[in-house]
Amino acid sequence: MVAASLCRRENRCGNPNCKCARGEKHQAWCLTFKHEGKTKTVHVPRDMVKEVRQWVKEHKRAKQLMSKISYQSIRIIKEYVSHKRAAARAKGKR
């Protein structure tokens, strides 16, 4: 898993004889992520793009799952508190 975004970039190299000077830009892949409050970028080799894309996807899936688990935990706490209050009220009315 990796907490980052996979991006495809297109750029020109500056060589006047290159294909990119005629409009066909070079394509490159990179990961963009935050580290200590700053955006960082790491080059991703073409032969790793498929694997890295899966890592990004797995992180998103795990993050969604953690969010669901957290929500369910909060719901359990709220129900517990509600039942405790109801039991306390019922005990006080006897």
Does position 94 have pLDDT exceeding 70, yes or no? Answer: no
Under DSSP, is residue 37 helix (H, G, I), strand (E, B) or coil?
coil
Would you call 17 exposed, middle or buried from its count of C-beta atoms within 10 A (0-12, 13-18, 19+)? exposed
Q: What is the pLDDT of residue 74?
A: 98
Domains of the chain: which residue ranges?
Answer: 5-92
* 20, two tokens: 């990119």
Q: Structure pTM?
A: 0.73
pLDDT in tens, 51-79: 999 999 999 999 999 999 999 999 999 99
Three-state DSSP class for residue 34: strand
pLDDT given for residue 16 in this prediction? 87
With contact defined as beta carbons under 8 Å apart, do 27 and 7 qualify?
A: no
Residue percentage of the chain with pLDDT more than 70: 98
The token duo for 43 is 């080059």
